[in-house]
């Protein structure tokens, strides 16, 4: 078998790509890219023990020095951006610009984490007792298990790894079975950073490739105090309670069912661009993808007409080709699920525009579709589910309160947005009585968040926060310390206990 030059350019060797049992296919044409070796479940205790040994050293390395490793990782990622981006495109089917954007997201979080390595600030707290000082210190936790999904095969690891490493924690990564190659190439980049760093402990960053048994070993081990998992709400509903039951800390980033409210005052030209990117970008396979439009009845007809027009001219095809905006879905099973959901929506009274398999003018063997716009009479069961495909349901509203109620009335709570030029509506949407999501935007679509903010959402999205802001606190343990520098021993709350 001759391998794609993109694989060797990304540092993968013949022995990485052959002889294993896990077949990896490109969504572009369904062709087999490689057969990679899998980690045996029986090897997981040794992997975890290795990480624990690394932790014993790494936790005592000063945080700014730990930041130096992440700085080097950022440098190596910059040097390999084109090659890794091309591999993301090959293994996931993202268009070239989005493949590169994913690597940029990794570089950005490295930069953020380097600064953070000098800012793991605790508090000083006013003590009620004389001659006492109270403080809060943040300490490393231990190995972090990262279970990532196919759709952001490397960026989500980097959000977790960059923070975990500066926080003093080793990382064990189990990527999606659909995307081990980008993970292996990322580890090669990490190895270069480690070599330049010099004295990092062995076992600080490990990759395990395999199925649910490999993930289960991370989920179940008490030696993995933090388990960060990205994927479906169904998966998180199994993983989260298992981690909690053994007193571990789950960080869950699960399904989204992200909506946009389009108010009568909206700048419709801008809204149309945001809607199209949000709904069809990454072929609708972001957890932040736009899935529901809640449009004021007075502008619905106009907006749907503009959207159907915009949808009709979208270039669908090989994601490597310049000009393509919609690449393939990850596999045929995903396309089948999309088509089945559209049938359900029709049965619930939906009028479907688009949403068909495409076989002409696209590489054979890939799961290409026209994105679907579905006018729904109500927020039915199908609309309330996340389908990982470019389906956009259109609902209408008359009163603003109704729009907010519809936005919130789904099980998921990741991202949300409103297009309006009305200050009252915008601020109400962002208020305590507004969107119930982890992300709420005004005059911006729901996807494509910057790394500087905390990323994650509520309800069935799992409640986890990753990436920017103070998400780092999820990777550390907090210690409250009170020091008595006086010659007396007063008790708090004025309690007397005189011997
Ligand atoms: C995901 O789909 O799992 O906000 C992450 C965004 C990207 C990350 C998406 N920065 O769309």
The answer, yes or no, to whether any atom of ligand 1 lies below 6 A from the CB of 251, is no
Question: Ligand 1 centroid to 359 CA: how many Å?
Answer: 28
Q: Which residues pair with 251 in a beta bridge?
A: 228
Please compute the mean of the pLDDT values over residues 404-421 and round it to a whole number.
98
Please compute the mean of the pLDDT values over residues 399-414 and round it to a whole number.
98
Residue 2 pLDDT level (bands cut at 50, 70, 90): confident
Ligand 1, pocket-test mutation among 288, 439, 441, most atoms within 8 A of CB: 288
- Output the pLDDT for position 1: 67
Q: Tell me if 85 sits within 8 A of 102, measured CB to CB.
A: yes
Please write the tens of the pLDDT for every residue from 11-60: 999 999 999 999 999 999 999 999 999 999 999 999 999 999 999 999 99
- Output the pLDDT for position 213: 96
List CB contacts of 360: < 8 A, sequence separation 6 or more: none
Question: Ligand 1 centroid to 448 CA: how many Å?
Answer: 6
Q: What is the distance, to the nearest Å, from the Cα of residue 51 to the centroid of all Cα atoms in its chain?
A: 24
The answer, yes or no, to whether any atom of ligand 1 lies below 6 A from the CB of 390, is no
Ligand 1, pocket-test mutation among 287, 414, 444, 468, most atoms within 8 A of CB: 287
Question: Ligand 1 centroid to 480 CA: how many Å?
Answer: 34
The answer, yes or no, to whether any atom of ligand 1 lies below 6 A from the CB of 448, is yes
Question: Ligand 1 centroid to 393 CA: how many Å?
Answer: 20
Q: Please check the confidence at residue 365 and state whether its pLDDT lies above 70.
A: yes
Q: Please check the confidence at residue 115 and state whether its pLDDT lies above 90.
A: yes
- Output the pLDDT for position 12: 97
Question: Ligand 1 centroid to 184 CA: how many Å?
Answer: 21
Please compute the mean of the pLDDT values over residues 384-408 and round it to a whole number.
98
What is the spatial distance between Cα 282 and Cα 277, in angstroms, rounded to a whole number?
A: 9
Statement: the pTM of the whole predicted model exceeds 0.95: yes
Please compute the mean of the pLDDT values over residues 191-216 and round it to a whole number.
97
Please compute the mean of the pLDDT values over residues 83-99 and round it to a whole number.
98
* CA separation, residue 288 to residues 189, 280, 284, 285, 449 (Å): 28, 11, 9, 8, 9
What rounded mean pLDDT belongs to the chain? 98
The answer, yes or no, to whether any atom of ligand 1 lies below 6 A from the CB of 462, is no
- Output the pLDDT for position 112: 98
Please write the tens of the pLDDT for every residue from 321-336: 999 999 999 999 999 9
What is the 3-class SS of the chain, one letter each residue? CCCCHHHHHCCCCHHHHCCCCEEEECCCCCCEEEEECCCCHHHHHHHHHHHHHHHHHHCCCCHHHHHHHHHHHHHHHHHCHHHHHHHHHHHHCCCHHHHHHHHHHHHHHHHHHHHHCCCCCCCEECCCCCCEEEEEEEEECCCEEEECCCCCCCHHHHHHHHHHHHCCCCEEEECCCCCHHHHHHHHHHHHHHHHHHCCCCCCCEEECCCCHHHHHHHHHCCCCCEEEEECCHHHHHHHHHHHHHCCCEEEEECCCCEEEEECCCCCHHHHHHHHHHHHHHHHHCCCCCEEEEEEEHHHHHHHHHHHHHHHHCCCECCCCCCCCCECCECCHHHHHHHHHHHHHHHHCCCEEEECCEECCCCCCCCEEECCEEEECCCCCHHHHCCCCCCEEEEEEECCHHHHHHHHHCCCEECEEEEECCCHHHHHHHHCCCCCCCCEEEECCCCCCCCCCCEECCEECCCCCCEECCCHHHHHEEEEEEEEECCCCCCCHHHCCCCC
- Output the pLDDT for position 76: 98
Q: Tell me if 402 sits within 8 A of 409, measured CB to CB.
A: no
The answer, yes or no, to whether any atom of ligand 1 lies below 6 A from the CB of 468, is no
Q: Is the ipTM of this complex over 0.95?
A: yes
> Is 253 labeled as catalytic in the residue annotation?
yes
The answer, yes or no, to whether any atom of ligand 1 lies below 6 A from the CB of 299, is no
The answer, yes or no, to whether any atom of ligand 1 lies below 6 A from the CB of 354, is no
Please write the tens of the pLDDT for every residue from 452-487: 999 999 999 999 999 999 999 999 999 999 999 999
Q: Please check the confidence at residue 237 and state whether its pLDDT lies above 90.
A: yes
Q: Please check the confidence at residue 495 and state whether its pLDDT lies above 70.
A: yes
Q: Of the listed 98, 253, 425, 466, which one is catalytic?
A: 253
């Amino acid at each position: 078998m001759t391998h794609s030059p993109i694989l060797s350019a990304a540092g993968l060797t013949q022995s990485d790509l052959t002889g294993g049992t896990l077949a990896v296919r490109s969504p572009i044409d369904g062709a087999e890219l490689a057969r990679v070796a899998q980690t045996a479940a029986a090897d997981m205790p040794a992997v975890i023990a290795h990480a624990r040994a690394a932790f014993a050293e790494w936790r005592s390395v000063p945080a700014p020095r730990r930041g130096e490793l992440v700085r080097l990782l950022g440098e190596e990622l910059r040097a390999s951006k084109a090659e890794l981006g091309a591999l993301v495109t090959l293994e996931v089917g993202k268009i070239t610009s989005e493949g590169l954007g994913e690597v940029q997201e990794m570089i950005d979080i490295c930069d953020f984490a380097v600064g953070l390595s000098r800012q793991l600030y605790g508090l000083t707290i006013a003590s009620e007792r004389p001659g006492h000082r109270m403080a809060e210190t943040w300490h490393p936790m231990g190995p972090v298990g990262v279970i990532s999904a196919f759709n952001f095969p490397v960026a989500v690891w980097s959000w977790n790894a960059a923070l975990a490493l500066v926080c003093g924690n080793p990382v064990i990564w189990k990527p999606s079975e659909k995307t081990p190659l980008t993970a292996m190439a990322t580890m090669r980049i990490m190895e270069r950073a480690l070599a330049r760093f010099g004295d990092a402990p062995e076992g600080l960053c490990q990759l395990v490739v395999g199925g649910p048994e490999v993930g289960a070993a991370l989920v179940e081990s008490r030696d993995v105090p933090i388990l960060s998992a990205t994927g479906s709400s169904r998966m998180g509903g199994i993983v989260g309670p298992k981690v909690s039951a053994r007193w571990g800390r789950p960080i869950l980033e699960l399904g989204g069912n992200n909506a946009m409210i389009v108010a009568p005052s909206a700048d419709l030209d801008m809204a149309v661009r945001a809607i199209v990117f949000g709904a069809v970008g990454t072929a609708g396979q972001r957890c932040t993808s736009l899935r529901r439009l809640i449009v004021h009845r007075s502008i619905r007809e106009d907006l749907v007409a503009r959207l159907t027009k915009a949808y009709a001219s979208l270039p669908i095809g090989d994601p490597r080709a310049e000009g393509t905006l919609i690449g393939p879905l990850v596999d045929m099973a995903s396309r089948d699920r999309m088509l089945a959901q559209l049938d359900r929506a029709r049965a619930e009274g939906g009028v479907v525009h688009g949403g068909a398999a495409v076989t002409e003018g696209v590489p054979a063997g890939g799961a290409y579709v026209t994105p679907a716009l579905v006018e729904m009479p109500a927020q039915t069961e199908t609309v309330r589910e996340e389908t990982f495909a470019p389906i956009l349901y259109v609902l209408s509203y008359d009163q603003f309160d109704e729009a907010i109620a519809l936005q919130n009335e789904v099980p998921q709570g990741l991202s949300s947005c409103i297009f309006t030029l009305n200050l009252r509506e915008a601020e109400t949407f962002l208020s305590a009585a507004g969107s119930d999501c982890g992300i709420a935007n005004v005059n911006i679509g729901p996807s494509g968040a910057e790394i500087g903010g905390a990323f994650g959402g509520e309800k069935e999205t799992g409640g986890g926060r990753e990436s920017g802001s103070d998400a780092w606190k999820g990777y550390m343990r907090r210690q409250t310390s009170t020091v008595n520098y006086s010659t007396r021993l007063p008790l708090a709350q004025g309690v007397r206990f005189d011997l």
